[in-house]
Each structure stands twice: as C-alpha cells, then as structure tokens.
Amino acid sequence: MLPGVSVLIALISGLNDVAITEIMYNPDGPTLGPDSLYEWVELCNLTESPLQLQGMVLSDRGNGLVLDEYELAAGARVVAPADMESFVDKYGESVPVVSWTGEWPGLSNASDMITLSDRYGMMIDMLSYTDHWGIEDGQQRSTADGTGASLEKINIRGPNNAANWAVSVDLNCPLPDPETGDDKCWGTPGAVNSVE
C-alpha cells in the first residue's frame, strides 16, 4: 500500500458515521425559553460500534464548539445543548447530553448551515435548513419556527434536504399547545425521532 493511503482510508471511513438528526433552532419562548438557552443539536451514531466524540467540531458559518469526551454507543443519540443547566432543568436528567468548549453556534431562526467535523477538520455531516422546512398546506409558518416543535430527520441515513426533514410530534410533551391542544412541543432529544 502506498504511504498515506491507509490514513486516507481511515479518514474517509469516518464520513457519515455520525449524523445530525434533530435540531431545536427556534424554541418556543413562552413555554420553553430563549434561543440562547434552549437551542440544541442531536447527533446519532450510525455505526455498529461505539464512537468517541471528543474533538469533533459543531459549527455554523461563524461560531463553533468542540465536543468534550463522550463515547456514543452504536445507534445511540446524544444532544449538544446551548446551555447545559437550562436544558437539563427543562428536559430532565434522562436525556443524554455531551458537554463542549468554545462558543455556541447560535442557530439562526431564518436559515443556517450546521456542520459537524472531525478533529482534523474533515466534514462528517452538514445540514443547511430554512424556516420554511416543515410548512404544511395552509400553514403560514412551520411549527418548528418558534411554536414548539423541533426539526427531525425522517430517514437518518438519507439526505439533508427539506423532503427528508419534518416537524416533530412529541407524544411526551410536558405542555401541549394551549391553542390547538396538539402534542407538538419541545422535540424528542436523545430519542428516536417521532417522524422516523
């Protein structure tokens, strides 16, 4: 084998091992709280072996954070929250979370691009979303755009396009929508997506 080829193969094998599978980019302020405390990104290990997340970088077009040591079991999910204490206070201690250092990306309420890279700067996954994702017939606004739902990936191994993402339908919502009574609230962090 040529020098460097084994290293290249090892790096390529890491592509798509971890996927961005759910985001809370515009939390419902009245029931959950402000963006700066309650935004979050969920990651899923798509492999059949545990993966170490330490050193992976989650960023948008500006800010970025580096994940701390965390072994993510095969098929498991973990949440990187904007603010650890606030997240645990609202969602409870049973949701798996990974701590980080750096600066929270600050997910835009209109559109943004989120990237997940390995410690060497190689991109693992990328999601470029807009606030139009999840708008259903007759709606003026997506329920993921500040009214309680998160955006969830439908087929976690599929593409990151609007057709493969939908608003969450959280059956364990602690506070149903007072206007509609729907259970669309706060997403399903750390658990199988409600739209899968």
N-term to C-term CA, the chain: 41
- 123 strand-pairing partners: 117
What is the 3-state secondary structure of the chain? CCCCHHHHHHHHHCCCCEEEEEEECCCCCCCCCCHHHHCEEEEEECCCCCEECCCCEEECCCCEEEECCCEECCCCEEEEECCHHHHHHHHCCCCCECCEEECCCCCCCCEEEEEEECCCCCEEEEEEEECCCCCCCCCCCCCCCCCCCCEEECCCCCCCCHHHEEECCCCCCCCCCCCCCCCCCCCCCCCCCCCC
In this predicted structure, what is the pLDDT of residue 180? 59
Read off the pTM: 0.88
Going from N- to C-terminal start, the domains of the chain cover 5-167
In this predicted structure, what is the pLDDT of residue 62? 80
Is the Cβ–Cβ distance between 138 and 31 less than 8 Å?
no
pLDDT by residue for the chain (196 residues), tens only, comes to 344 433 333 333 345 799 999 999 999 888 888 999 999 999 999 999 999 999 999 999 888 999 999 999 999 999 999 999 999 999 989 999 999 999 999 999 999 999 999 999 999 999 999 999 999 888 888 989 998 899 999 999 999 999 999 999 875 565 555 565 554 478 999 999 999 9
Dist CA 26 CA 110 (whole Å): 9
Other CB atoms closer than 10 Å to residue 141's CB: what's the count? 12
Written as six digits, the tokens of 73 are 């079991």
**Four-way CATH pick for 5-167: 1.20.120.330, 3.30.230.10, 2.60.40.1260, 2.40.50.100:** 2.60.40.1260
In this predicted structure, what is the pLDDT of residue 8? 35
Dist CA 111 CA 186 (whole Å): 19
Whose CA is closest to 175, among 82, 97, 90? 90
Is the Cβ–Cβ distance between 130 and 62 less than 8 Å?
no
